[in-house]
Amino acid sequence: MSGDLLVIGAAEVVTLAGGLRRGSAQGDVATVRGEASGPLAVAVLGGQVAAVGRGSDVRTVLEGQGVDVAGLPHLDAAGGTVTPGLVDAHTHLLFAGSRESELGLRQKGATYLEILAAGGGILSTVDRTRAATDEELLTHGRRWATEMLSHGVTTAEVKSGYGLDAATELRLLATYGRLAADGPLELVPTFLGAHAVPREFRDRPDATEAYVRDVIERQLPAVAEQGIARFCDVFCEAGVFDADQSRRVLEAGARLGLRPRLHADEIHDSGGAALAVEVGAASADHLAAISDAGIEALGLAADRGAAVVATLLPATTLYLMSGHYAPARRLIERGVPVALGSDFNPGTSPTPNLALVLTIACLQLRLTPSEALAAATINAAHALGLGESHGALEAGRVGDLVIWDVPRHELIPYWVGADLIRAVVKGGSIVRERASTP
Query: Where along the sequence are the contacts to ligand IZC (CB under 6 A)?
Result: 92, 121-122, 125, 235, 263, 345-348
Shortest separation between residue 360's beta carbon and ligand IZC, angstroms: 16
CB-nearest residue to ligand IZC: 347
Give whichever of 231 and 235 is closer to ligand IZC, judged by the CB atom: 235
Give whichever of 9 and 346 is closer to ligand IZC, judged by the CB atom: 346
Shortest separation between residue 267's beta carbon and ligand IZC, angstroms: 8
> What Cα–Cα distance (Å) separates residue 315 from each residue in 173, 322, 329?
25, 11, 17
Give whichever of 317 and 348 is closer to ligand IZC, judged by the CB atom: 348
The rounded distance, in Å, linking the Cα atoms of 369 and 14 is: 12
Shortest separation between residue 395's beta carbon and ligand IZC, angstroms: 39
Shortest separation between residue 121's beta carbon and ligand IZC, angstroms: 5
Give whichever of 72 and 164 is closer to ligand IZC, judged by the CB atom: 164
Give whichever of 58 and 212 is closer to ligand IZC, judged by the CB atom: 212
Shortest separation between residue 349's beta carbon and ligand IZC, angstroms: 7
Give whichever of 214 and 285 is closer to ligand IZC, judged by the CB atom: 285
Shortest separation between residue 194's beta carbon and ligand IZC, angstroms: 11
Give whichever of 263 and 409 is closer to ligand IZC, judged by the CB atom: 263
Shortest separation between residue 125's beta carbon and ligand IZC, angstroms: 5
